[in-house]
Each structure stands twice: as C-alpha cells, then as structure tokens.
Structure 1
Amino acid sequence: MLLVPSRTRSLDADVAELGLEWGDVVGGYWRLGGGAFALLVVEIDAAAEADDDELLRLFGNGEARRWLSQQLGAEEIVMEMHDLEGFDEVVRKLLATLPPERVLSAYAPEQRMAGLTPEQRMAGLTPEQRMAGLPPEQRMAGLPPEQRMAGLPPEQVVLALPDEVLHALSDSYLDTLPEGTRAAIRARIGR
C-alpha cells in the first residue's frame, strides 16, 4: 500500500516507467496492475473528501496546519513544515535512503540554495574553499595594510611597495636585500 497526499506528475511518471497501470477502485483509492504483486494507492486528499473523513484529512496537503490552528483557536497561525519538531531528522532519514545521484539531481543548485543566507551557503566550507575563484583584490578587500602583509619577510614586503616608493629607496638599502629581490626592484624601476 502506498499513501500519498495526491497524485503527481512524478508519481505518474514512475508508475509508467515501471510498466504499471492505474485502475480506479473508488474515490481516492487506486489499484496498480501489471506488477509482480498487487499495489493499492490511497490518494489521501481525494479519499478524505470522498469519505468525508476529518482524521484522514489531517494527513493530506496542508490540512494538519489548518487543523492545528483550529484546535489552538488561532486561525492566523503560521508554521512551516521545517519548524515542526523532528522535521530535520525525518529529512535526514529520507535523504539517507536515496542514492546520491537522486539527491543531487532532484533540484538544480539554484533551487537548493534559494532562500539561504550567505552564512548558510558558506557553512561547512574551509577557508580555502570560501576563497577559491576570487581574484587577489577581492581576497584582500577590507583588510588593513598591516594584515595584508602579515607573515611576509621584509624582502617580500619591499616588493609590494609601489614603484614611486621604490625609487625613493637608497642604493645602500637596496644593497642589503637578497639578490633576487634587488634584481626584481631594478627591473621595475630601471636602476
């Protein structure tokens, strides 16, 4: 037996792919024929309507929220499914039963990321992953100069200076620098 809130295109496609055929039993109840065993499908919304069954309606599309608001006397109650206790655990268990290619292909990346804050999108990424693909200017944006140069040896800090400042350095100071650094400076300022 399969209980579903309502028939969907994806359910119809799965049934067709399996070579099964829908057989209407009575309002909201279906028999899938053509398989190795009998399968009964209960379309909860349609069956609840046909049977005028309030209890069954609780399990249909969106009815649990309406019922809860009536019981609490708050018609304007706003509660999303993901706010219900245990929702995350149910989703984890469901995803664990699916092959990875179904989980990843079920939604485009844009759909999976929609509605997430930047912090949620970056959660779990290493600093290297967060910075990957950014040009150096964006990686350094917002850092004060002393942090940009933190950890560099003096000969590399000198190479970060603009050409105008390098021109102002004395030859006696340049002679104290390693040969590779002196050669790079000479190539930039022409002396």
Structure 2
Amino acid sequence: MLLVPSRTRSLDADVAALGLEWDDLGDGYWRLRGAAFALVVVEIDPVAEAEDDDLLRLFGHGEARTREARRWLAQQLGAEEMAMEMQDLEGFDEVVRKVVATLPLEQVLAAYTPEQVLAAYAPEQRVAGLPPEQRVAGLPPEQRVAGLPPEQRVAGLPPEQVLLALPDDALRALSDAYLETLSAETRAAIRARIGR
C-alpha cells in the first residue's frame, strides 16, 4: 500500500516506467495492475474528502475542520518525545503552519517555539499592529532605509539635520559664512567631520 497526499506527474511517470496501469477503485483508492504483487495507492486528499475524515486531512493538503482534529494534532506535536521525531518528517513545517493558523493563541504558544509560530504568518502579518519603531528595532541604519529614495530618507528632518546627512565632500563645499548661520551644535558636528 502506498499513501500519498495526491497523485503527481512524477508518480504517474514512475508507474508508467514500471509498466503498471491504474485501476480507479473510486474516492481516491487505486489498484496498480501488472505488478508481481497487489499494490494499492491511497490518495489522502480525495479519501479525506470522500470520507469526511478530519484526521486524514491533516496529513494531506486539506485543512482540519473540527476542533477535535486540531486538538489531536496539537497534542501529538506538543508531546516532547513525539515532537522530536515528527520534526524530522518531511512536511512537518506545513502541518505546524496549519495548526498555528487554526488554534487559539494560548494553545499555540504552549505547543510550539516562537520560530514555528512566526513561520505560519506572512512577513506583513508578523509586524501588523506594531508601532514603526518596533518594526525596525534591531536593524542597522542602512537596512532601515534600504530601498527608500534619498528624499524619503530625510523626510521630516529639520534642515540642519538634513545637512548632516550629506557626504563630507558636499559639506566641505559649504562656505564658512553659511556655516556661521547654523546652530553651534550643527556647526561643531560639521567641523568635526570636515576638519575646519
């Protein structure tokens, strides 16, 4: 018996290469003819729908519809020894994303690491509701402004602070007479950078 979420082109190609033929038994069950032994293929997605099996949906591409199925999966993944074994299985991250998206937050936080929880959400969902200063906290300045045109990088700054954003060569071109019109603090910062 072979259990697969759904038939794929590569599976069909393998079956054809072996000289086997598909017999449709209905509702996602197939028998392969031509092998030396009986071979049955079960497509999890159509079987789960045909039999309305929520637990089976968890192992295919479908979404669990009942709280009981989601709770069962959370219990399985939440058990320390079981979780260690399941994390190594192919598709584990997809299953975690399904559960995280459907369970109440307190159950999610009790069963999963913060990294697993965050992986279930798109980047814009991860920062939704955070004030701007928290969204960029921890990023170096060049990453905070990456992708912004120069006029947006300095938008909202007072004119004297915009001057401090200029490269040293541009600051050297400023006349001493102009520098004298600036505040003492700005003048000192510019003079320290250009050496005059």
TM-score, length basis structure 1: 0.49
Structure of greater Rg: 1
